[in-house]
Amino acid sequence: MPTAQAPPAARAPKPHQRIDRVAIRFAGDSGDGMQLTGTKFTESTALAGNDLSTLPDFPAEIRAPAGTLAGVSGFQIHFSSTDVRTPADQPDVLVAMNPAALKANLGDVRPGGMVIINSDAFSDKSLERAGYQDDPLPDARERFRLVEIPLTRLTFEALADLNLSQREGARSKNFFALGLMYWLYGRPLESTLRWIASRFSGEIAEANRRVLMAGIHFGETSELFPVSFEVPPAKIEPGLYRNITGNTALAWGAVAASVQMERPLFVGAYPITPASDVLHELAKHRHFGIRTFQAEDEIAAAAAAIGAAFAGQLALTVTSGPGFLLKQEALNLAVMTELPIVAVDVQRAGPSTGMPTKTEQADLLMTIHGRSSDSPVPVLAPATPGECFSVMIEAFRIAVKYMTPVVVLSDGYLANSAEPWKIPALETLPRTPVVYHSEREDFSPYRRVPDTLARPWAIPGTPGLEHRIGGIEKQDVSGNVSYLPANHQRMTDLRHEKVERIAAEFPPLEPRGAGSGRLLVVGWGGTHGAIATAVDEARAAGREVAHLHLRQLNPLPRDLGAVLARFERVLVPELNAGQLVRILRDRYLVPAQSYSKVQGQPFHVSELRAAIDRALEA
């Protein structure tokens, strides 16, 4: 066993077989470190040059009872030498650290796929705790390529001469699984070793390193694995890449907006799954002048952000569905006072507390219609984790240019899933420095810029522009309190018209596949990868179908009606009970069909393929 010298590449002397793509799912108890294992495997896979997509899937409980189905945590990664847009419907390989992980995940594995288990964890007691009446392994041996490895024992053996407790030692066993998978798919090791050295110290660092290496050596020497696999690098656009999750991209996009607009960022937030990581990431960067404020509740978080916007900062509030609902009142004030804030809703499965760690896209109608009275806000939705970066720059640009709150709808899937992201050159990012209103002559707080209808952003501290704003209806131009009937009509119309005018800036819609024809599949948000893959597959199979993915949900693009009219049929797949489809029917009077899924899980490509075929046949 090597000790201190440079590690060998994880490349076996055994023959290796070239494959195009593979999907692996790591599953274990919440305490088994499966998210960490998946994340490290993802980083290494990205460095190997594959295209990839991931799906972390974990319980809301911090530590559900050990060994139970409720406590199973999973992480799926799909990687390929070609284009990958989804985490894959079915894993080809399942790594199950205990019987509960096997039980929760075996049904998803591709028939004949590989199932690697920690055989040490399969005692009668643990089988019972997972709810198995009979030993599942005989059946699994028939249906899958079952690989049984005494992972706990091998971990302890690797640590025999270290001075670690049983508990500390057992913690390293996920590194054995990781090492084995590194060997099996020829992943580079260096970044993980560097990470272990920086993240841990002393015997724990040594233990994790040794167990990782033991996993690799086990692959090399064990007869359980006659071959290893090679997944060649993908042909993707040249450039400098990194992995990014949607939540990190949202945070970095906000930082980039602040830098490019030359104004400090204020973040009002209250912890909520799955949005908290955006707050965590932004909280790390005080040196950018970012003031993160963890408020007493969601309402105060939004209120503080609006206060900061009134005072002239770029203001952000980040939450998930139940928190977004609480912010609606504050958002209504931002509509009335026409102040620029960005509110992000990382949607999760509901209603009420629902399933906090599971994805859904069911807050669209609440976002558009969920405030008292007529209260239009622009709504943007990123389609991929990487787009979460650019959408934030765009959201702040629109907020400031039009003096309006802007909502960004992400979701639990985008939040946690990762993809390779081409790091943008700074020169390519929009640069729109903020200029506050300072001209005293003819100043009125609601005197609008003629083309955008934006009111002036006149911030406290500016001499001569003292004024009062608030939630009471404003007199046009002067901003004074007004209850006049005709004025309310005019102000309501102006608020509506201002938001509608944003659509003048949207690029023309270009459906993927065809500009007209039999069927158009219209999606929005984080379902992009699954829909695009399904449509491509359907087209490859000769179906006459195209894909349009909406990034702007309010206002809708001006050419949307014309695009819809060029297709005989419209299918709208959504992870909700049918929301965008209602908007499209209402707005364009098209007989759009809904394809709905609300299971807390992303679409499978196969489901969408079948839905496309049905829509074409009907």
Specify burial of residue 227 (Cβ count, 10 A radius: 0-12, 13-18, 19+): exposed
Rounded distance, CA 267 to CA 280, Å? 11
Report if residue 191 touches other proteins, rule: CB under 8 A.
yes
* H-only helix segments in 99-162: 99-105, 124-129, 137-143, 151-158
Report if residue 241 touches other proteins, rule: CB under 8 A.
yes
Determine the size of the site formed for other proteins (CB under 8 A). 70
Rounded distance, CA 524 to CA 19, Å? 32
Binder to other proteins among 462, 533, 576, 579 (CB under 8 A)?
462
Report if residue 444 touches other proteins, rule: CB under 8 A.
no
Q: Which tokens go with 33? A: 């470190």
Report if residue 306 touches other proteins, rule: CB under 8 A.
yes
Find the shortest distance in angstroms from Cβ 297 to other proteins.
6
Provide φ and ψ at 611, rounded to 5°. Answer: -65, -40
Q: Which residue has the tokens 């209808």?
A: 453
Q: 332 has which bridge partners? A: none
Rounded distance, CA 416 to CA 602, Å? 12
Interface of this chain with other proteins, residues 416 to 435, rule: CB under 8 A: 423-424, 426
Report if residue 36 touches other proteins, rule: CB under 8 A.
no
Rounded distance, CA 254 to CA 265, Å? 8
Rounded distance, CA 424 to CA 259, Å? 14
Q: Which residue has the tokens 């908290």?
A: 276
Find the shortest distance in angstroms from Cβ 371 to other proteins.
12
Binder to other proteins among 112, 463, 485, 507 (CB under 8 A)?
463
Report if residue 329 touches other proteins, rule: CB under 8 A.
yes
Binder to other proteins among 56, 59, 268, 513 (CB under 8 A)?
268
Find the shortest distance in angstroms from Cβ 64 to other proteins.
31
Report if residue 330 touches other proteins, rule: CB under 8 A.
yes
Binder to other proteins among 36, 193, 236, 514 (CB under 8 A)?
236
Report if residue 565 touches other proteins, rule: CB under 8 A.
no
Q: Which stretch binds other proteins (CB under 8 A): 154-162, 261-269, 524-532, 560-568?
A: 261-269
Q: Which stretch binds other proteins (CB under 8 A): 159-167, 215-223, 296-304, 368-376?
A: 296-304
Asked if the bond preceding 555 is cis, omega within 30° of 0, the reply is yes
In terms of CB distance, is 261 or 612 closer to other proteins?
261
- 517-524 and 379-380: which strand pairing? unpaired
Angle subtended by helix axes 298-310 and 321-337, to nearest 10: 30
Binder to other proteins among 435, 481, 484, 504 (CB under 8 A)?
481
Report if residue 539 touches other proteins, rule: CB under 8 A.
no
Of residues 126, 163, 144, 155, the one with CA closest to residue 29:
126
Residues that bind other proteins (CB under 8 A): 43, 46-47, 49, 191, 233, 236-243, 252, 255-256, 259, 264, 266, 268, 285-291, 293, 295-297, 299-300, 303-313, 315, 329-330, 332-333, 337, 423-424, 426, 459-472, 480-481
